[in-house]
Amino acid sequence: MLFLKALNPKNQLILASLVILGFTGFLFLIFPKSLFEVINTVSIWVRTFFGKLYLVLGLLIVLYLLIIAISPLGKINLGSSPPEYSTLSWLAMMYSTGMGAGIILRAVQEPIFMMQHSNMELSRPNDIHGLEMTFYHWGFTAWGFYGLFALFIAYLLVKKKNIQLSHIIPKLSNSLTTKSIDLLVILTTVFGVVSAVALGIRQIEGGISFITESSLGVYLSIILCVLIFSFAIFSSIKGLSKGIRRLSNVNITLTLLLLAYVILNSDISLILSNLLQSVLALLQDFVPLSLAVGEFDFSEEFLSDWTYYYWAFWLAWAPFTGIFIARISQGRSIRQLILGVLIVPSLGSFLWFTSFGTSAIELINAEVVSSFAFDNVFTATFVLLEQFPLGFYAVILAILLLIGFLITSVDSAIFVLGMFSDLTKINPATFHKLTWGILLFLVTLGFLMIGRFSQAGNVLEAVQKILIVSSLALALLSVVFIFGFTFGLVRHYKSRKDQIQK
C-alpha cells in the first residue's frame, strides 16, 4: 500500500525506478556470485575504452566552473529571497552529505598507500606525493562534479521547472528520451548512495571487531543497516531544518573534535608544513595529474583501482548531492555556490588527510607500528587512534561519527529522491520519503551480500566495478548537460540585462 500511495498515476518514471531497483535488490540477495561475474566483465570493458574520458571530463568541469564563477554570469542570484541557512550550517550540511563517511574510511589508509607505492620516479618526497595524490582524489575535481550538478538543479529551481535533469537540455521533446535520462539519474544516484553506505557499514564492522576482538559477520551488517536506515528515515521525515541540519551540525562538531584530538597528539608544525607543501604541489601539478601525463603517467591498473573509481564514484553521487546542495543554496549567487563548493570543503579535506596521514607516517618512522599496520582500509583509522592516549574512546568517537555521517547521507538521499517522486515539490511528502527509505534499505542489503562473495572478500571491489559501469552514461550526458545549461544561463542573463536597461 505504501509503494502504491507514493506513486503518482501519471509518473511512469518512478514506477520504472521502483520495479528495476526492487528487482535488482532481489538479484543481489539471491544470486550475488553470478551477478558479480557479469559486473566484473562489463567493468573491464568500460575501463578499457572509456577510462580516459573520466580524467578529461573531471579537468574540464573544474575549469568550466571557475570560468562561470569569475564571469558576469556568476552574479546571478539563485532566487530572490535571502539564504535560508547560515554559512556554517550550509557548509556543514554540504560536507556531511558529500564527503563525511568517506574521509573516515580513507583518512589513514590512502595517504599511507600513496606514500609507500609511488611506483615512479618523483621530484618530491614520498610523503608529500602521498598527500598530493590523496588531495587530488578528494579535492577540487570531486567537488567540481558536485558543484556542476548543483548548478544545474539550482538553475531549474530558479526557472521554477521540474528538477529532473532532462529539463536542462533545450527543446528535448521526445518522451522516451527524457524519461530514460531521468531514470538513469535516479538509478545512478541510488547505486552511489547505497554503495557508500555499504562501505561505511563494513568499516563500522571493522571498528567494532577491532575494539571487541570478535566478529558477528553478516548479522552485524543487518543490524547496522536497520539502525542507520531507521534513524535516516526518521531524520528525513523531520525535514531539512529539524532533522538534516541539526544532525549535520553535530557531525561537523564531532569531526572538528576528532581532528583536534589527532593534531594535538602529533607534530603540529610538521602537519602545517606538509599541508602547505602538498597544497602547493597539487596546484602546480593539477593539469598533468588530471590528464595522467608526464611525471604522472600512471599505469592503467593504478588508474582503474583509484582515479577511475573515484571519478565514477563522485559522478554517481553528483546528481543526489548536487540536488541537495542546490536545495540548501537558494538565495546565494552562482559565484558563492561555485566557490563555496570548490574551495571550502576541499581545504577542509586537505587538513583532515594531512593530519591523519602525517600522524600515521610518524608512527611508522618511529617504529611504533609496522609499515603494514595501515593496509586494511576498514581498520586503518582505528589502528592510528589506538596509539594515542585515550585511544579507545577516540575509536568509539570515530565509529559514532561514521554512523552519523552515514545517517546524514542516507536521509539527504531520501529527501532528494522524494523530490523526484513528488515531482515539483521541494519538500516531498512523508510517504515518498518512506518509500525511498525502504527501497534504499533493500538495495543496500544487496550490495553487502554481493560484496561478501567478491573475489577480494569485501564489498570494496564490487562497489568499484558497479560504479564504473553505472556512471558511464552519466559521464557522457554531463557534456550534453553543460551545453544545454550554458545556453539557458546565457539567455537568462541577457533577458535580465535587457529588463534592467528598460
Which tops the pLDDT comparison, 198 or 403? 403
Rounded Cα distance, 115 and 173, in Å = 51
pLDDT digits (tens, 9 = 90+) for 404-427: 888 888 887 888 788 776 655 667
The answer to whether 338 and 151 are in contact (CB under 8 A) is yes
d(CA 146, CA 98): 8
Beta bridge partners of 77: 333
Q: For 206-247, how does the pLDDT look when each residue is reduced to its tens digit (9 = 90+)?
A: 888 888 777 667 778 888 889 999 888 887 777 665 656 677
pLDDT tens digits for range 90-138? 887 777 767 777 888 899 999 999 988 876 666 788 899 999 999 999 9
Taken in order 137, 103, 189, 39, the sign of the CA dihedral is positive
Q: What are the percentages of helix, strand and coil residues in the chain, rounded to 5?
A: 80, 0, 20
Q: How many residues does the chain have?
A: 502
Beta-bridge partner residues of 378? none
- Residue 138 near residue 314 (C-beta atoms within 8 A): no
pTM value? 0.87
Distance between terminal CA atoms of the chain? 55
Q: How far apart are CA 102 and CA 488, in angstroms?
A: 35
Q: What is the DSSP letter of 160?
A: T
The number of beta carbons lying within 10 Å of the beta carbon of residue 55 is 20
Lowest mean pLDDT across 229-238, 321-330, 355-364, 454-463: 454-463
333 - beta bridge partners? 77
Degrees to nearest 5, angle at CA 44 with 312 and 21: 55
Average pLDDT taken over every residue of the chain? 82
Long-range contacts of 61-64 (CB under 8 A, 24+ apart): 61/141, 61/144, 61/145, 61/148, 61/478, 61/482, 62/140, 62/141, 62/144, 62/290, 62/342, 64/148, 64/482
CB atoms within 10 A of CB 324: 26
